Amino acid sequence: MKLPPIFDAPARALVRERWGWPGALSLLALAAAALLALGLAPRWSAQAQALLATFEQTASRADRQHATAAAAPVSGQAWPSAEQTPERVAALMRLATPAGLRVVRSSEQAAAAGHLQLSLGAVGSYGALRSYLSRALTADPALVLQQLRLQRDDDDAAPLRVEMRWVLLQDGGAPAQPGAAP
């Protein structure tokens, strides 16, 4: 069996003297990796395209479900009536104190489809905020946290300033009037 010209005596001597056996093995491993990559690249590309298509389908399905879920009551139940809005807002505000948040500002305005948008500014710790959000979302299934903004001064010990925008989903009737809650 005749070896390729790279394996003739002068080439072997060059590899042995210049790079040594570790260099020769590294060169051989590099060549094997390049051949392997060339052989598997089309397969990897096809797998990546399939995963990307699956991801896009899942994302578009989730977007459609989110859009329909935002407009329809949960589990076929009707939203609370507009007359219950003041009690719901008061309950949401009462949950802040036991959680450790201090509400410093609140404002209300009518939102789309007769729902009420409630903006709250609060101060507290991150743990208190997590506790409050968990309690609020558990207590009122027709409550949606639309926006959450956290801000802290440069000092790590400074309290966390929180801006929350809630949407209180409500059923028919007249839209909630801003300022109706205590």
pLDDT of 131-152, one tens digit each? 999 999 999 988 999 999 999 8
Residue with tokens 């056996």: 21
Residues of the chain with CATH 3.30.70.60: 78-168
Pick from 160, 108, 114, 166: nearest CA to 136: 166
**Cβ(100)–Cβ(127) below 8 Å:** yes
**Cβ(136)–Cβ(163) below 8 Å:** no
Tens of pLDDT, residue by residue over 111-126, are 777 788 999 999 999 8
CA distance 143 to 148: 14
Judge: domain 78-168, CATH 3.10.20.740.
no
Model confidence, pTM? 0.53
